[in-house]
A = this chain, B = another copy of it.
Amino acid sequence: MAENKIKPRILTGFMELLPADQILFNKIYDTIREVYESFGFLPLDTPVIELSEVLLAKAGGETEKQIYRFKKGDNDLALRFDLTVPLARYVAQHSGELTFPFKRYQMSKVYRGERPQKGRFREFYQCDIDIIGNEELSLVYDGEIPAVIYNIFRKLDFGKFTIRLNNRKVLNGFFEALDLSDKITDILRVIDKLDKIGASNVISELEKLDIESGKTEKIMDFISIAGNNNEKTEALRAMDINSEKFAEGVDELEKVVGYMRDFGIDEDYFEIDLTIARGLDYYTGTVYETVLDDHRSLGSICSGGRYDNLTEYYTNTRLPGIGISIGLTRLFSQLKEAGIIKAERACLVKALVIPMGAGMEYTLRAAGNIRNAGIPADVYYAEKSMKAKMKYANKLGIPYVVIIGEDEVNSNTVTLKDMTTGEQKTVAIDDIAKEIKAQERM
Determine if A18 and B315 form an interchain contact, defined as CB atoms under 8 angstroms apart.
Answer: no
What chain B residues lie within 8 Å of A101 (beta carbons)?
A: 382
What are 5 contact pairs spanning A and B, CB under 8 A?
Answer: A5-B313, A9-B89, A40-B376, A48-B109, A68-B72
Residue of B nearest to A91 (CB): B8
A341 within 8 A of B: no
A22 within 8 A of B: yes
A75 within 8 A of B: yes
Known: A37-B348, A263-B368; 10 extra A-B contacts, CB below 8 A, are A8-B92, A11-B47, A19-B44, A22-B44, A39-B377, A43-B348, A68-B77, A72-B113, A99-B346, A264-B365
Determine if B99 and A392 form an interchain contact, defined as CB atoms under 8 angstroms apart.
Answer: yes
CB-contact partner of A46 in B1, B16, B54, B92, under 8 A: B16
A307 within 8 A of B: no
Binding site for B on A (CB under 8 A): 1-2, 5-11, 14, 16-19, 22-23, 25-26, 37-51, 53-54, 57, 68, 70-73, 75, 77, 88-90, 92-94, 97-99, 101, 103-104, 109, 111, 113, 122-123, 133, 136-138, 140-141, 144, 258-259, 261-264, 311, 313-316, 346-349, 360-361, 363-365, 368, 371, 376-379, 381-383, 392, 395-396
| A73, B66: Cα distance in complex, Å | 11
What chain B residues lie within 8 Å of A315 (beta carbons)?
A: 5, 8
| A133, B334: Cα distance in complex, Å | 34
